[in-house]
């Protein structure tokens, strides 16, 4: 038993020693630690790793990645001895509460904003949209001395977005997730299923969604990324070597010795013993912020400095350096770096100190080029160096669409928190015209965004233009006999789905068919087919008849000209017609008044498709037969004939010639017709001055009456203000009315010529009072 007790005692002792040792090691690793009272923060980076421990030396401790503007709860601040600060955070991970560690530089602490009336007034005065204000309030609460100015640019949002989405204009690493890469024609090779590279290292065109995210200033209104809007000019009162050292710490520029080739940093006989000192000299000579110069070098060369752009040992151009990678783009058979070093060998001496055959000549000369080409020309922020709004998008320093975001994170390190709190740093933040209401979020999908068709066709006809997956609108025209059409389509990739592949009934006219391709990531593209079905072309009659007389020849739908003869006693005729196709329309089938002689009547049939066919019927009405020589009579009892026997009145205003003739009786060989003042037949309304001409069987005129409508002195068949003016002019001794028109002016029918009383009668009629008795 004693033996057993000794073993148990030893076991307890060993466990106790192990726990103390582990606890001591853990405390040593994370010291010092500062507790937080459940502070919240916003992730300000893209693809930021969350780890199970504050350690970047291994990839096995990665839990997940977070993107801006993910909200997290800051549980602790941890400061390992060998790195920057870390936060222990809690967050929602797709519905599961998760804890882990994240580098503090990628989280902006959410500061409670207390209503600041002056700041609110200032933002309104600057013209910041509401969608900007939440981020500005957070930064103002954290750093109240910072100054935010709204730069209202003259460009429409969509104009800039379209320009920046041009193929090859904005690039992203080819290893990025699919939703970050463009599937536009020229950006993606559908035959090989790969993206097209536009620069060494496999840089491809960024997707419109990613460009929208990077272009939208509202995504970067946090205390880290806001530095992409900082003025990059040199400011000796703000920018120090200490700030530079904060940026270059942990990079190849933290000491000249890290270069390893012993060349040092010499310029004009002066040895700059550190990159920080050399960069300050470059800033003084170029007018560019040394913080920006340091950041730009890290961005272009990499933090380890292993790029051949600054090795000085390339076979092609030994002894030359290009710290900012000027002109370093792939061209022909030359790689980007070699092309950049060839540029470094050029000679412009005073302008940019080329050739860059020493490190400091490259650092200073490249800075001068940056200053004269960009910073001092208005492109004085990281944002404006990428998005050139000065020379209409043509003069952009970098193609990397996320460069302003990554470089702003580096720039922010230059200022200690106390400097940020005490310094009135100025940020010029762009505001576009017609910006989207919502903030453009960063795409996060890893699924394919390919929503193109590989084929598209319709049954029994072809598309116009010929199918091409980049073309989304097509036209098809079919005959009226085609009442249905089938649509077939196949997607470029099997992971996409297609809707709209089916048969469609066609209406006459325009039919719109949409074929929608949905990519694996949910993005859709619509191909539209406009199908025009022609209308029925049948414009034939199935019947045509008259109520008096007979068609000669007999009706045939294909014959369009007919004759009809009627006696003098037939004064009107009714045409009836029926179209073969119910969708066609017929005009001209109605009753007609017949004059003696030939009357031409047209019946038109308009097919559904608009084509017109005209049927013509020539109706010949016989003249009256002279059964009693030239004798005859006329009965005008319905109307008033004046004493001289040459004028007829009693005609109601608006009466037609047909109405008048139907009220007059002719006997024997007498016939009558009504003519206008120019002698032509009157088939319309009666006007003062029209005449009733009566002829006998020999065609001789036996009576000629002129119509008088009291009040109608201008002969238009109406009593209007114009007649009032004519009568007034007559009374005042202007132009006198004569003949039938003078008779018409005697509106009160007093027989005393035209007086002011007649003027009053006409005025009363015009104003809607009492009508003139005819």
Mean pLDDT of the chain: 86
Determine the average pLDDT of the residues in 513-526.
Answer: 92
**256 pLDDT above the threshold of 80:** no
Higher pLDDT, 160 or 273: 160
Return the CATH number of 453-533, one of 3.30.1390, 2.60.40, 2.40.50, 1.20.1740. 2.60.40
Position 644 scores a pLDDT of 67
Within 10 Å of residue 420's Cβ, how many Cβ atoms?
18
The CA distance from 771 to 774, in Å, is: 9
First and final CA of the chain: distance in angstroms? 148
Position 526 scores a pLDDT of 96
The CA distance from 369 to 511, in Å, is: 59
Position 307 scores a pLDDT of 92
Worst-scoring range by mean pLDDT, 257-271, 303-317, 747-761? 257-271
**Measured CA distances, 389 to 151, 154, 211, 234 (Å):** 11, 9, 15, 22
**261 pLDDT above the threshold of 50:** no
Crossing angle for the helix pair 241-248 and 290-301, nearest 10 degrees? 20
The CA distance from 695 to 702, in Å, is: 5
pLDDT digits (tens, 9 = 90+) for 460-473: 899 999 999 889 99
Percent of the chain with pLDDT over 90: 55
Position 257 scores a pLDDT of 52
Worst-scoring range by mean pLDDT, 394-403, 427-436, 525-534, 762-771? 394-403
Position 84 scores a pLDDT of 64
Position 38 scores a pLDDT of 54
pLDDT digits (tens, 9 = 90+) for 61-113: 999 999 888 899 998 888 765 446 789 999 998 888 999 999 888 888 888 88
Do the strands 671-675 and 665-668 form a parallel or antiparallel pair, or are they unpaired? unpaired
Worst-scoring range by mean pLDDT, 36-50, 58-72, 538-552? 36-50
The CA distance from 692 to 294, in Å, is: 108
**623 pLDDT above the threshold of 80:** no
Worst-scoring range by mean pLDDT, 201-215, 390-404, 562-576? 390-404
Higher pLDDT, 257 or 160: 160
**30 pLDDT above the threshold of 60:** no
pLDDT digits (tens, 9 = 90+) for 312-366: 999 999 999 999 999 987 766 568 899 999 999 999 878 899 999 999 999 999 9
Position 646 scores a pLDDT of 82
**285 pLDDT above the threshold of 70:** yes
* Cα torsion through 650, 651, 652, 658, rounded to 10: 150
Percent of the chain with pLDDT over 70: 91
Determine the average pLDDT of the residues in 8-36.
Answer: 35
Position 622 scores a pLDDT of 85
Higher pLDDT, 377 or 576: 576
Q: What pTM did the predictor assign?
A: 0.51
CA neighbor of 576 nearest in space, from 613, 548, 614, 606: 548
Q: DSSP code of 414? A: T
Determine the average pLDDT of the residues in 373-395.
Answer: 83
**189 pLDDT above the threshold of 80:** yes
* Alpha helices (H) in 345-396, listed in sequence order: 359-373, 382-386
Worst-scoring range by mean pLDDT, 57-61, 196-200, 504-508, 637-641? 637-641
> Which architecture, in CATH terms, is 541-621?
Sandwich (2.60)
Position 329 scores a pLDDT of 78
Strand blocks (E) in 534-664: 541-546, 561-566, 572-579, 585-587, 591-593, 597-606, 612-621, 627-630, 632-635, 640-641, 647-649
Position 331 scores a pLDDT of 67
**223 pLDDT above the threshold of 60:** yes
Position 238 scores a pLDDT of 81
Position 770 scores a pLDDT of 87
The CA distance from 146 to 425, in Å, is: 5
Query: With contact defined as beta carbons under 8 Å apart, do 172 and 402 qualify?
Result: yes
**547 pLDDT above the threshold of 70:** yes
**721 pLDDT above the threshold of 90:** yes
The CA distance from 224 to 739, in Å, is: 100
Position 81 scores a pLDDT of 53
């Amino acid at each position: 038993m004693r033996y057993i007790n000794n073993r148990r005692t030893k076991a307890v002792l060993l466990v106790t020693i192990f726990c103390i040792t582990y606890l001591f090691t853990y405390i040593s690793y994370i010291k010092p630690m500062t507790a937080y009272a459940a502070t919240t923060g916003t992730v300000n980076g893209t693809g930021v790793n969350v780890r199970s421990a504050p350690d970047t030396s291994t990839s096995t401790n990665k839990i997940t990645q977070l993107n801006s503007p993910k909200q997290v709860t800051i549980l602790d601040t941890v400061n390992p001895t060998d790195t920057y600060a870390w936060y222990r955070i809690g967050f929602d991970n797709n519905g599961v509460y998760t804890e882990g560690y994240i580098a503090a530089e990628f989280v902006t602490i959410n500061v409670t904003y207390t209503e600041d009336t002056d700041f609110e007034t200032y933002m309104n005065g600057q013209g910041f949209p509401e969608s900007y204000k939440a981020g500005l309030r957070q930064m103002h609460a954290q750093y109240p001395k910072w100054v935010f100015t709204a730069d209202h640019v003259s460009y429409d949002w969509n104009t800039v977005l379209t320009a920046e989405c041009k193929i090859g204009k904005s690039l992203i690493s080819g290893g990025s997730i699919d939703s970050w890469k463009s599937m536009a024609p020229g950006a993606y090779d559908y035959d090989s299923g790969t993206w097209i590279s536009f620069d060494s290292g496999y840089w491809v065109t960024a997707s419109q969604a990613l460009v929208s995210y990077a272009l939208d200033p509202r995504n970067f209104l946090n205390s880290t990324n806001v530095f992409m809007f900082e003025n990059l000019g040199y400011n000796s009162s703000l920018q120090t070597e200490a700030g530079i050292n904060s940026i270059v710490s942990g990079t190849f520029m933290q000491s000249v010795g890290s270069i390893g080739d012993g060349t040092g940093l010499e310029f004009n006989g002066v040895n700059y013993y550190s990159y920080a000192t050399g960069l300050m000299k470059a800033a003084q000579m170029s007018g560019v912020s040394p913080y920006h110069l340091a950041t730009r070098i890290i961005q272009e060369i990499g933090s380890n400095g292993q790029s051949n752009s600054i090795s000085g040992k390339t076979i092609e151009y030994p002894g030359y350096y290009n710290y900012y990678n000027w002109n370093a783009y792939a061209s022909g058979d030359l790689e980007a770096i070699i092309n950049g070093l060839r540029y470094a060998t050029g000679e412009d001496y005073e302008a940019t100190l080329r050739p860059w055959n020493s490190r400091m000549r490259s650092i200073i000369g490249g800075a001068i080029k940056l200053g004269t080409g960009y910073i001092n020309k208005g492109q004085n922020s990281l944002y404006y160096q990428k998005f050139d709004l000065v020379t209409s998008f043509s003069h952009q320093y970098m193609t990397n669409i996320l460069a302003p975001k990554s470089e702003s994170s580096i720039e922010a390190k230059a200022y200690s928190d106390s400097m940020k709190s005490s310094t009135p740093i100025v940020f010029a933040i762009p505001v576009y015209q017609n910006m989207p209401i919502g903030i453009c979020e960063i795409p996060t999908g890893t699924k394919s965004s390919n929503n193109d068709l590989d084929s598209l066709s319709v049954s029994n006809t072809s598309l116009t233009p010929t199918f091409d997956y980049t073309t989304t609108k097509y036209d098809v025209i079919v005959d009226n006999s085609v009442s249905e059409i089938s649509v077939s389509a196949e997607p470029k990739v099997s992971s996409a789905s297609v809707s709209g592949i089916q048969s469609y009934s066609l209406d006459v006219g325009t039919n719109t068919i949409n074929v929608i391709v949905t990519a694996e990531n949910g993005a859709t593209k619509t191909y539209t087919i406009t199908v025009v079905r022609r209308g029925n072309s049948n414009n034939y009659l199935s019947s045509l008849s008259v109520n008096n007389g007979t068609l000669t020849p007999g009706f045939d739908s294909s014959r369009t000209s007919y004759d009809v003869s009627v006696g003098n006693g037939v004064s009107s005729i009714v045409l009836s017609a029926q179209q073969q196709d119910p969708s066609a329309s017929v005009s001209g089938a109605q009753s007609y008044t017949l004059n003696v002689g030939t009357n031409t009547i047209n019946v038109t049939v308009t097919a559904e498709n608009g084509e017109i066919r005209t049927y013509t019927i020539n109706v010949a009405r016989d003249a009256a037969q002279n059964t009693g020589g030239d004798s005859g009579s006329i009965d005008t009892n319905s109307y008033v004939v004046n004493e001289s026997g040459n004028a007829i009145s009693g005609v109601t205003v608006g009466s037609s010639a047909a109405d008048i003739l139907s009220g007059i009786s002719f006997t024997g060989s007498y016939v009558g017709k009504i003519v206008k003042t120019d002698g032509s037949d009157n088939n319309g309304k009666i006007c003062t001055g029209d005449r009733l001409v009566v002829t006998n069987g020999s065609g001789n005129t036996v009576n000629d009456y002129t119509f008088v409508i009291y009040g109608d002195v201008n002969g238009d068949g109406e009593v209007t203000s114009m007649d009032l003016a004519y009568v007034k002019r007559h009374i005042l001794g202007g132009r006198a009315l004569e003949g039938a028109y003078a008779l018409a002016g005697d509106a009160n029918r007093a027989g005393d010529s035209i007086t002011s009383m007649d003027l009053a009668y006409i005025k009363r009629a015009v104003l809607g009072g009492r009508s003139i008795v005819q």
